A and B are shown apart, each in its own frame.
Chain A
Amino acid sequence: MSQRLRRGDSERSALFTRRALLLGGLQLGLFGALGARLYQLQVLESQRFTTLAEENRINLRLLAPSRGLIFDRNGEPLAINRNNFRVMATSDRGRGADLVVDRLDQILSLGEQDRARLLRELRRARNAQPVVVRENLGWEEVARLEFNAPDLPGVFIDLGQSRDYPEGDLMSHILGYTSRVDKEDLGGADDALLRLDLMRVGRKGMERQLEEDLRGRAGAVQVEVNAVGRVVRELDRTEGQPGSNALLTIDLDLQRFATEKMKAHQSGSAVVMDVITGDLLALVSVPGFDPNVFARGITQSEWKELLDSVERPLHNKAIAGAYPPGSTYKMVTALAALESRAIDAWTRLPCLGFLELGGLKFHCWLKGGHGGLNVVEALAASCDCFFYEAARRTGVDRIGEMASRLGFGKLSELGMPGEVAGNQPSRAWKQEKHGKPWQHGDTFNLGIGQGYMTSTPLQLAIMTARLANGGYEVQPNLLLARATPREELAPPTTVRDKPTAPSMRLNPQHLALIREGMNQVVNSGHGTANQLRQRDPALAFAGKTGTAQVKRITERERDLGITQQQLPWHLRHHALFVCYGPVDNPRYAVSVIVEHGMGGSATAAPIGRDILVETMKRDPSRRTDRFRKMAQR
Chain B
Amino acid sequence: MSMLAAGEAPQISFAERIWRINWALVLILTAIAAVGFLALYSAAGGRPEPWAAKHALRYAGALTLMLGVALVHPKVWLSLAWPIYLVSLALLVAVDLVGKIGMGAQRWLVLGPVQIQPSEIAKVAVILVLARYYHGLKPEQSGKLLHTVPAAALILAPVALVMVQPDLGTALMVLMGGGCVMFVAGTRLWAFAAAGLAAVASMPVAWTLMHEYQRRRVLTFLDPERDPLGAGYHITQSKIAIGSGGLFGKGFLHGTQSSLNFLPEKQTDFIFTSFVEEWGLAGAAVVLALFGAAILIGHSVALRSRHHFGRLVAMGVTAMLFLYVFINVAMVMGLLPVVGVPLPLVSNGGTAMLSVMFACGLLIGVNVYRDAALPRAG
Contact = CB atoms under 8 A, between A and B. Distances in A.
B260 interface: yes
Nearest to B264: A227
Contacts of A186: none
Q: Which of the listed residues B139, B180, B186, B256 has the most CB atoms from chain A within 10 Å of its own CB?
A: B139
B6 interface: yes
Nearest to B189: A19
Interface stretch (A50-58, A283-291, A360-368, A461-469): A50-58
A498 interface: no
A150 B203 CA distance: 43
Contacts of B302: 20
Contacts of B335: 33-34, 37
A34 B239 CA distance: 13
A17 interface: yes
A507 interface: no
A12 B260 contact: no
B141 to A, nearest CB: 9
Interface residues of B, number: 49
B288 A227 contact: no
A43 B242 contact: no
B247 interface: yes
B288 A56 contact: no
A27 B330 CA distance: 13
A8 B138 contact: yes
Contact of B247 (A31, A42, A93, A224): A42
A426 to B, nearest CB: 67
B139 A12 contact: yes
Contacts of B315: 16, 20, 23
A228 B261 contact: yes
Q: Which of the listed residues A38, A42, A52, A57 has the most CB atoms from chain B within 10 Å of its own CB?
A: A42
Interface stretch (B16-24, B214-222, B278-286): B278-286
A50 B326 contact: no
Contacts of B183: 19, 23
Interface in B270-306: 276, 280-281, 284-285, 288, 292, 295-296, 299, 302-303
Contacts of A52: 240, 243-244
A44 B276 CA distance: 16
A24 B322 CA distance: 10
Q: Which of the listed residues A9, A53, A56 has the most CB atoms from chain B within 10 Å of its own CB?
A: A53
Interface string B226-241: 0001000100010111
A50 B246 contact: yes
Contact of B311 (A16, A45, A49): A16
Given A8-B140, A38-B281, A53-B241, A227 B260 contact: yes
Contacts of B319: 23, 27
B58 interface: no
A42 B239 CA distance: 9
A548 B241 CA distance: 79
B156 to A, nearest CB: 21
Contact of A227 (B243, B261, B280, B322): B261
B23 to A, nearest CB: 22
B257 interface: yes
Contacts of A38: 242, 276, 281, 284-285, 288, 333
Interface in B316-334: 319, 322, 326, 329-330, 333
A13 B138 CA distance: 12
Interface string A456-497: 000000000000000000000000000000000000000000
Given A20-B315, A43-B281, A52-B240, A27 B322 contact: yes
Nearest to B277: A53
A401 interface: no
B246 A16 contact: no
Contact of A41 (B233, B239, B295): B239
B281 A95 contact: no
Contacts of A13: 311
Contacts of B257: 53, 56-57
Contacts of A228: 261
Nearest to B228: A93
A93 B227 CA distance: 12
Contacts of B245: 42, 46
A311 interface: no
B328 to A, nearest CB: 10
B326 A42 contact: no
A628 interface: no
Contacts of B276: 38, 42
Contacts of B246: 42-43, 46, 50
Contacts of A33: 330, 335
A15 B182 CA distance: 12
A23 B284 CA distance: 23
Given A31-B292, A57-B256, A224-B260, A16 B229 contact: no
Interface in B1-56: 6
A42 B186 contact: no
A232 interface: yes
A259 B233 CA distance: 62
A24 B299 contact: yes
A31 B328 CA distance: 12
Given A27-B295, A35-B285, A39-B281, A12 B142 contact: yes
B87 interface: no
B370 interface: no
Q: Which of the listed residues A17, A27, A56 has the most CB atoms from chain B within 10 Å of its own CB?
A: A27
Contacts of A232: 260
A37 B239 CA distance: 10
A279 B204 CA distance: 85
Contacts of B333: 34, 37-38, 41
B209 interface: no
A53 B250 CA distance: 12
Interface in B330-358: 330, 333, 335
B353 to A, nearest CB: 22
Contacts of A41: 239, 242-243, 333
B123 interface: no
Interface string A1-16: 0100110110111011
B262 interface: yes
Given A35-B288, A42-B247, A49-B243, A56 B138 contact: no
B98 interface: no
Given A23-B183, A23-B184, A226-B260, A42 B242 contact: yes
Q: Which of the listed residues B180, B240, B276 has the most CB atoms from chain A within 10 Å of its own CB?
A: B240
Contact of A42 (B6, B233, B281, B322): B281
B185 interface: yes
Contacts of B322: 27, 30
Contacts of A50: 243-244, 246
A48 B239 CA distance: 11
Interface string A80-105: 00000000000011010000000000
A225 interface: yes
10 contacts: A9-B139, A9-B308, A16-B184, A31-B326, A33-B335, A34-B335, A52-B240, A93-B229, A228-B261, A232-B260
Given A17-B303, A34-B335, A39-B281, 7 more contacts: A8-B138, A12-B142, A41-B242, A42-B243, A43-B247, A46-B243, A46-B247
- Pairs A-B, 6 closest by C-beta atoms: A49-B243, A8-B139, A53-B244, A12-B139, A226-B261, A42-B281
